[in-house]
Amino acid sequence: MMGDILQRLGTLSPGVKHLSRLPRLSDLIPSSLPSPSSTVTDSQVPSLFREPYILSGYRPVHQNWRCYLLSVFQRHNESLNVWTHLLAGPVLLLRWWANVGALGYTLDAASLPLSLFLVSSLIYLSLSVAAHLLQSHSEHAHYFFFFMDYVGVAVYQYGCSLGHYFYTSEPAWRESYIGLLFLPGAAFFGWLSCAGCCFAKSRYRRPYPMRRKICQLIPTTLAYLLDISPVVHHLFTVSWAQEPSLPFHTLQIACFLLSALFFSLPIPERFFPGHCDFVGQGHQIFHLFLSLCTMFQLEALFQDYARRRDMVVEVFGERQLWWACVSFPALLLICISTALITMRHVHTQLQNKQEKDK
């Protein structure tokens, strides 16, 4: 199948005479590349890889790594999970450049939180693509890439918090207890959501009990409630006529709530088992709403940045802005370490299981 696709892409080379000497795509990729195997049903993959109510479209385990990489062009039950976040990255970058052109941007202390928000979004999108594309390789790969996916979500939450704190928050909110504890709290809850998700994934086996979702959802919900608090305060205290960012903030909250709904419940596939194997899974809809949430956040934060960039250094001081800059990679490293420590436990569990099975 892969060979067919590459051949077809290769023959799409334009017929224009001066372009005819360009190498074909199929010439650039060695013909010895392994092609991904056909997809199989849920009963043909280990229980770890089975998703509730998804009955077919699974990629077989233990293929060559390249097969999983090339499966980006294959039709399987993770295809849309990969493509929703794979396309969201370039769209986000296009919107970034459009806003740079329209509203202006200078790389300095005042723009650091905005830049970190973009970096955090690209990190979570890339790690999610890697997880959905490569997790089918083996049980080790499944755990490793989903732990990294949780790292991405944690740093994204913190990236959003930085943007909300430095560009959207009001003085009255910053003087409250929540405002005073906001940045260390956001970093702590970001880490807690990563640790909670890694723990729940390593602790519970399929079919997953409700306790697993609770372990994932409680820290993530607490993190979100804190991260969004300056925005909610802003929405209720500022006139909508004054602030062009408010409709975008409202849309980012609406999209996030919808994404959380589809993340928490296996709908609509629960009502149509086997009919959402390729298109229509709740997780795909979750990806879609989360990507939209990120787009609206970018628009909102850029508007807030454009209105307040001259005051940011004066209000917060360069030191606090640089501290935020340092805390971001520190949180990333702590989350990666947490994921790797959990991975070590999983590795031991899997080895013990393999020895028992022998």
Question: Please, are residues 1 and 35 in contact by the beta-carbon 8 Å criterion?
Answer: yes
The reply to whether 283 sits in an annotated binding site is yes
The reply to whether 287 sits in an annotated binding site is yes
Question: Please, are residues 297 and 117 in contact by the beta-carbon 8 Å criterion?
Answer: yes
Q: At what angle do helices 139-163 and 210-237 cross, to 10 degrees?
A: 20
Peptide bond connecting 266 to the previous residue in cis, omega within 30 degrees of 0: no
Question: Please, are residues 346 and 143 in contact by the beta-carbon 8 Å criterion?
Answer: yes
User: Of the candidates 103, 97, 53, 64, which has an alpha carbon nearest to the alpha carbon of residue 274?
Assistant: 53
Residues in the chain: 358
The reply to whether 275 sits in an annotated binding site is no
* Residue 97, token pair as written in the block: 């450049």
Point out the annotated binding site for Zn(2+): 132, 283, 287
Point out the annotated binding site: 132, 283, 287
